[in-house]
Amino acid sequence: MAVVSLEGLSKRYGPHLAVDDVSFNVGHREVMGLLGPNGSGKTTILRVLTGYLRPSAGTVRVAGFDVVRDGRAARRRVGYVPEDAPLYPHMRVNEFLEFMGRLRGLDGSGLRAAIGGASERLSLGDVGETIIGRLSRGYRQRVCLAQAVLHQPDLLVLDEPTNGLDPRQIIEFRELIRGLAEQCSIVVTSHILAEIARLADRVAILLGGRLLAVRPLGAAGLVRLRVRNDMGAGVTPLLRAAAAEAGAEIVEEPVADGMVSWRVRAAEPAAVDRLVARLGAAGIAVVELSEAGSDLEETFLAVTARKPVH
């Protein structure tokens, strides 16, 4: 069962339609990145997921619970880190975590174990008695993340979690998030495409409140295919036709070292095999077939250049 399920989600602010008929799922222990320009509806979706806003239409479920009809049960299964990492700066770290744990219904030995576990996972043991207002931005982010996982949620929601961090802190925070993904599903937004590429298993790309595409990330299904440039101009239309039949997507890259190359994304390895076989039957020899890196930036620009389909 999907940990998160959005079906036809829409949200209006008066006459303004901020989110328009968005549907997608997030699986168990999956990291889903939400991408889009400012005003595309990312934060609104997060606030509906976490129970801060009611949807105007559609259904949203977390761990099987409807966020409206079973709102309290759904919220119990969510940990949330907003963009501004709201904290009480006059509190000490352990004092704050105890306060947040009690709000989550934890007490006694269970609360102490939860604080100890979160502090260990997020390396907060040395600052437990430090006043939050005296912490660096990186440590404040860790404290905010710790309060979000105290109750071992099924879903962790992160809105721009690396905003304002320096490069070293970003690297450390990325590793923390990937570690947490071993125990819960994560929905994360960021304006830094490289961060999403390193964190997410899939991305949902939004524009104007509408969902344009949901794409997998990582090397799986993404390969680079090269042929010699002297094979003739006919190779490109042939490859495009074969890709369309196989259900694959191709993007031509600049000619280099006498080679023509394409990035090929296919839902299954067999689709790439069919492309290579068709080229071979046409007398076009493939001289290289290798895994390619993430093409998230290219995909994002290509997808958001299109108008939303209404």
Whether the pLDDT of residue 219 is over 50: the answer is no
Find residue 24's DSSP bridge partners: 6
With pLDDT > 70 as the criterion, what percentage of the chain qualifies?
Answer: 86
Longest dimension (CA), the chain: 74
The 3-class SS string of 181-197 reads CCCCEEEEECCCHHHHH
Average the pLDDT over 9-29 and give the result: 95
Nearest by Cα to 60 from 74, 39, 41: 74
* pLDDT score recorded for residue 246: 66
- Cα 41 from Cα 225, distance rounded (Å): 36
Do 246 and 121 lie in one domain? The reply is: no
Residue range(s) defining the domain that contains residue 52 = 4-216
Domain count for the chain, please give it. Answer: 2
Whole-structure pTM value: 0.75
- Give the DSSP H/E element, type plus range, for residue 102: helix 93-103
For residues 169 and 144, the model is more confident at 144
Local confidence band at 226 (pLDDT 50, 70, 90 cut-offs): confident
Whether the pLDDT of residue 14 is over 90: the answer is yes
Whether the pLDDT of residue 257 is over 50: the answer is yes
Residues in Cβ contact with 96 at an 8 Å cutoff, skipping those fewer than 6 apart: 87, 88, 132, 143, 147
Residue 138 lies in a domain: yes
| C-beta of residue 122 within 8 angstroms of C-beta of residue 99 | no
Do 153 and 18 lie in one domain? The reply is: yes
Do 180 and 198 lie in one domain? The reply is: yes
Average the pLDDT over 183-188 and give the result: 95
Do 89 and 124 lie in one domain? The reply is: yes
Local confidence band at 220 (pLDDT 50, 70, 90 cut-offs): very low
**What's 260's domain CATH number?**
3.30.70.260
Do 197 and 275 lie in one domain? The reply is: no
Local confidence band at 153 (pLDDT 50, 70, 90 cut-offs): very high
